[in-house]
Amino acid sequence: MLAVISDTHATDGHELRGRTLEAVREADAVIHAGDFYREPVLDALLDVNDAVYGVTGNNDDAALRERLPEERVVAVEGATIAVRHRSRSGATGLALFGRERGADLVVFGHSHRPEFDDSGPVPLLNPGSYAQPRGNRAAHAELVRTDDGLSGELVTPAGETFASFAVPVGEGDR
């Protein structure tokens, strides 16, 4: 299972709770789409799961910027996932970012709004923020491998699934 989180905005710890904590503990890998805020947050996440693939966000401190890239490509669950915190050119820029990297999925954060959009050439996933939802539903994403690709859900820290989606894997130029 892959757990996807973003926008922690914390100073001392990861602030994981409920199903979000369970998902991060159980995951084979964790993607964090930026805005940890301070370096101890990354270290606290690594104490829970040592397979954390993070990128920096616009609010991350210098210590995080020294340890993490602004963007990365992760091969996990048989999928190629392109990760960055945000795109100044919106969905079009995120889709282009994914296509240029041969991605099956683009993961991003920044807005704190959990959403999945498969209307473009590359599906886009924002897991929202489990810690600071800012008027949105607190959330994270969970993805598992299926015969057809990835099956995903957006889930609250209380364990409520409020959206399900599928990501085809290995279809090349869609």
Going from the N-terminus, what domains does the chain have, and what CATH number goes with each? 2-168 (3.60.21.10)
Closest CA to 33 of 81, 75, 78, 80: 81
Residue numbers in the chain where pLDDT is lower than 70: 171-174
pLDDT score recorded for residue 174: 44
User: CA separation (Å) from 9 to 6, 13, 65, 93?
Assistant: 9, 10, 15, 24
Handedness of CA 23, 46, 2, 133 (dihedral sign): positive
β-pairing, 79-84 with 71-76?
A: antiparallel
Alpha-carbon distance 8 to 131, whole Å?
5
Residues 18-65: pLDDT tens digits? Answer: 999 999 999 999 999 999 999 999 999 999 999 999 999 999 999 999
pLDDT score recorded for residue 68: 98
pTM: 0.96
